[in-house]
Structure 1
């Protein structure tokens, strides 16, 4: 039995915890205090900020851990690398972890690797950021250098939006630092992949749709196709860009999740961001295996904990498609929930996540990913299959909110 420390105890870390437990390992879940499901299934619990690497190191040494891991959360990646490096465990290296966790550092590194990135600047104060934006042609995008879940990410199209958007970005920044970058007119793509023993493979490529929120980026749907599917020229170009970036950086092992934009203006692929961890909303744990047949969580845990290696270039892929779909609400209190059981029985639906919704729950205006609900997870043989299933889900699941006597349907 090995002792494995998992940073994070929310839903995104549950698959890692379960896999480790199934393999007979002792699991220590680390997270700030809260109602996190990982606490209920871990063998031991540590209440700590997962970005506090020195505190994590202290507990890791006390427990004499054999491995440390995290998934679907950016802030814990540097801590995992730092602790494993200090304790002589398998580590991607703290320096590389910081590159993959900091949007500014990654843009600098991507340029060095010959990957296209939007024209970008870093600002450490509101006044500096405003001055930079006023010197640029609008629209531009502002975002914190270290954060996730679309928090603080805003598109600025007019001068009247500058101050509010900059203030919001700084409020969500962990280190009082933001990026201002040129807006790229194009289509966004997602790519997931896996590195091991100096080799790297793309596992799937996805597309994303957003809620209609002025200037904000909150995704409502992501659909992923196996990297071995019949892809179009743009998807293949995105996959090639992603492989070139990860190989040139030299990630020794781990799951990657990246976002790119294909520009309609110059037909180039631009990096948005890339992280050295699995994608959220059950991507690395459920959707990647459903689409590609490759369970990167299993392979990563086997390598980090037990040193078990495989030749990733020889893995056998399936050619599937998987997706998640979320929804939001008009502000108010939930007053009806109908069709939950029927939704779970729709062919192609394999997971319905509505545990945090109940009659009387207060719903506030959506600002970032925290304001969306679900997801509903879907699989199929093709994108058309998944789209048909999504349409059936939208016809079946009915949740309403009420405020001041006005009843509103859920927003898909």
Structure 2
């Protein structure tokens, strides 16, 4: 009998996962709204349920009797994945881990508790904020969006209100964080974890548009950073994953490296990186099929 895999999301980002799973002889079940669901015609079964409707997806997964549940590249899918897996006694990170790894404010609190190196930050719910003691430039971002959505670099204080309002408006829960901006090179770390053991697959050098919104333009593997800095990043990323209680599956961690070699964690996604980093680039640069291993 075929194994059955629930895949949360059905956009072009999830397509490589659906295709790999089918090649492995796994029965694929995609969950998403029909609009933009390019996997609808490729997956064995398509279920038009929002990826945020975790109870509805749970009931359908129980009915189907799935053997596993996963996704690629979308933070919004992570709580649903962990919720369903926890309820069905499947392998995943805990639901609590999914909450702190998809909320940038809760994430930073966990990082602070775990002794990770983070920028100074505050959580805000409106533009009437007290930034005494903060050094400009700052960065404002929604607590619960991925990519560059809602992100603005703030150089002068008179720009802060507009940036905060933009971040809050883009947030699902209408909350944002303001943190000190770290000048430096940006990298990500692609990792696979199993039972709390973390294997670093690649460090990715990033090219972005820069201020004010930092949209990613290109990604390069392997990194050109020197070995000393790479070792600092590797040490820091393990602390960060442990702080977020990430024990299973793929993760995509973003760091800034200053000119004097300081390494700051920006955020961690408990899923593969987007922009085809996990689904294509890792395999091209390392020979390791991230999609197959992440199932």
Please give the alpha-carbon distance, in whole angstroms, between the structure 2 residues aligned to 1:243 and 1:135. Answer: 30
Q: What residue number does 2:221 align with?
A: 224
| 1:201 and 1:243 in contact (8 A); partners too | no
Partner of 1:169: 167
| Distance in 1, Cα, partners of 2:216 & 2:225 | 25
- List per-residue Cα deviations over 1:339-360 (Å, max 9, x = no partner): xxxxxxxxxxxxxxxxxxxxxx
Shift in Å, 1:108: 1.1
Contact 1:184/1:263, CA 8 A, preserved across alignment = yes
Which residue pairs with 1:408 in the alignment? none
Q: 2:255 aligned to 257, 260, 274, which one?
A: 260
Residue equivalent to 1:287: 281
Q: Is this contact kept in 2: 1:6–1:28, CA < 8 A?
A: yes
Tell me which structure has the larger Cα radius of gyration.
1
Secondary structure at 1:251's aligned position in 2? Answer: coil
Match in the other structure for 1:364: none
Output the CA distance in 2 between the equivalents of 1:286 and 1:191.
15
Shift of 1:211: 1.8
Q: Is the 8 A contact 1:133 1:140 kept in 2?
A: no
**SS in structure 1 of the partner of residue 198 of structure 2:** strand
Distance 1:234 1:110 in 2: 20
Q: In structure 2, what is the Cα distance between the partners aligned to 1:245 and 1:121?
A: 19
Stretches of structure 2 that go unaligned for 5 or more consecutive residues are none
Residue aligned with 1:126, SS: coil
Separation in 1, partners of 2:259, 2:121: 19
With over 3 angstroms needed to count, the CA separation of the structure-2 counterparts of 1:140 and 1:31, relative to structure 1, is same
Partner of 1:35, secondary structure, is coil
Alignment of 1:370-409 (within 5 A): none
Q: Could you tell me which residue of structure 1 aligns to residue 236 of structure 2?
A: 241
Tell me the distance in 1 between the aligned counterparts of 2:17 and 2:63: 22
Q: Which residue of 2 aligns with 1:277?
A: 271
Q: Aligned Cα RMSD in Å?
A: 1.9
- Asked if structure 1 preserves the Cα contact closer than 8 Å seen for 2:143 and 2:177, the reply is yes
Q: Which residue of 2 aligns with 1:57?
A: 58
